[in-house]
Structure 1
Amino acid sequence: MTSSQVFIQMKKRILARPGQILRVGDVSRVLAEEDREQIESLPVTRFGPEEGNMAVVELMDVVRIIRREYPTLDIRTVGNPQVLIEFKKIGPKPGWITVAGVWLLLFVGSGLAIMNFHTDVSMKEVHERIYYLMTGMHHSRPLILQIPYSLGIGLGMVLFFNHLFKQKFNDEPSPLELEVFMYQESIDQYVIDHEKTKGQKGSRVPSG
């Protein structure tokens, strides 16, 4: 290969199987003037089951492996300095009884949470007071307020989370999605820092 340019951008996070040989194309995106497929097929590392659920591959390790095979290559790097590897073990899918149990637990729990909140803020008394101010009459069950309010809670939750089952109303992320994203970002950064502290390298795969 002549002294041509190749651009390497590490992926942010990938899934792999324990013991899988990870190649350049698995952990990064490669833009090359020539021989891109040969570069992507270079083995980088292999992590065994003893590595746990997550590992990290550094950009410099990828550059060193490419440079070893193509010493005259002009390598340019962009983006993240490492990629986070998450190992997924194939397990049985949960049965419908498990799914129904989890759904029932969440349904009852959320219902109790809403009822306890309404009890804490005396929502029933507030509705009665509003009904009295509007009509001048006392009523222990002002359904004309309670029914629209109950329906509004459900509609408000749908609009708040921007989801109705699998249907999304627009591309704007919901507050829950943002919180999950920020939580995942914190977890990823912790794992990266932790793996660097351990000096985890994995088992290098011979390139020959």
Structure 2
Amino acid sequence: MEVEAVYLRMRHRLLASPGQTIRIKDLAQLVGPEDVIQEIGHMTVHKITVEDKTIVIIDLMKVLKAIKERFPSLDIQTVGTPQSIVEVQYKQSKITGVYFVVVWLLLFIGAALAIMNFHEDVSMQQVHQKIYYLVTGRENDYPLLLQVPYSLGLGLGMVLFFNHIFKKRFNEEPSPLEVEMFNYQQDLDQYVIMNENKENEKKAHDN
């Protein structure tokens, strides 16, 4: 009799709510006989509790153990990452208008000071004065003909650079900020997984 095979790939990350029951279908993609993967998909692996806090790491071995207890002779082929990160989302208080305005003002003032300090460091005003003199042959302490378009272009350049204006995206290409956030999230996930593995090894050693 031919042994049935099921292909399993763990998801890298998923969101869960407090008290939620995590089933295999939430954690992994399954390919195989329909009746088998339906039953496997509904198998419970973990239940979110208060002790879990905000992050739970579910290892592939825990999933395989649960499946093998139900289907001892099943041929399971695994693909991809060996852990899934479950992020527990708790209800967050809504941001008030006053809080939003305060944060916006802090960011605006901070960005403005950073730009002004940069321009002061590179003597931008003197550069504009020199360019104005080279183009027109006249000296002008306030070359607004250059400064106004430059200021508008600086703001427009920042919008194009970050590929967003409020919630509107100009194209599907990720912005540099999104790429950096993605890299940061990858590093954070790797740290969480490694730290979890160390904790498990320590518990096993203590036992």
The TM-score, its normalising length taken from structure 2, stands at 0.90
Please give the root-mean-square deviation of Cα atoms over the aligned residues, in Å.
1.6
Partners of 1:80 and 1:12 in 2: how far apart? 7
CA distance in 1, matches of 2:191, 2:48: 19
Give deviations 1:68-110, integer Å, cap 9, x for gaps: 1111222111111110111111122111221222112111111
Aligned to 2:20: 20
Q: Which runs of 5+ in 1 are unaligned?
A: 201-208
Aligned residue in 1 for 2:9: 9
Q: Say which SS state the counterpart of residue 140 (structure 1) adopts.
A: coil
Matched, 1:29 2:29: yes
Stretch of structure 1 that moved more, 145-154 or 31-40? 31-40
5 Å matches for 1:63-78?
A: 63-78=64-79
Instruction: Work out the percentage of aligned pairs sharing the same amino acid.
Output: 48
How many residues are matched?
A: 199
- The question of 1:97 aligning with 2:98 is answered yes
Q: Which has the higher contact order (CA 8 A, sep 6+)?
A: 1
The corresponding residue for 2:205 is: none
CA distance in 2, matches of 1:67, 1:169: 49
Q: What do the CA deviations read for 1:186-206 (whole angstroms, capped 9, x no partner)? A: 000000000010018xxxxxx
State the alpha-carbon separation in 2 of the partners of residues 196 and 48 from structure 1.
Answer: 20
Q: Distance in 2 between matches of 1:49 and 1:29?
A: 27
* Farther off after superposition, 116-125 or 43-52: 43-52
Please list every run of 5 or more consecutive structure 2 residues that lacks an aligned counterpart in the other structure: 202-207
TM-score by length of 1: 0.90
Give 2:11's aligned amino acid: K
Q: Secondary structure, in 3 states, of the residue corresponding to 2:178?
A: helix
Kindly state the Cα deviation for residue 56 of structure 1 after the two structures are TM-superposed: 0.7
Show the counterpart of 1:203. none
Choose 190-199 or 59-68, whichever is displaced more. Answer: 59-68
Superposed structure 1 runs of 4+ greater than 4 Å apart = none
Paired with 1:18 and 1:199, the residues of 2 have a C-alpha distance of 23
Tell me the distance in 2 between the aligned counterparts of 1:88 and 1:103: 25
The structure in which a higher percent of residues are helix is 2
Per-residue CA deviation, residues 48-71 of structure 1 (Å, 9 max, x unaligned), is 222332121111110110111111
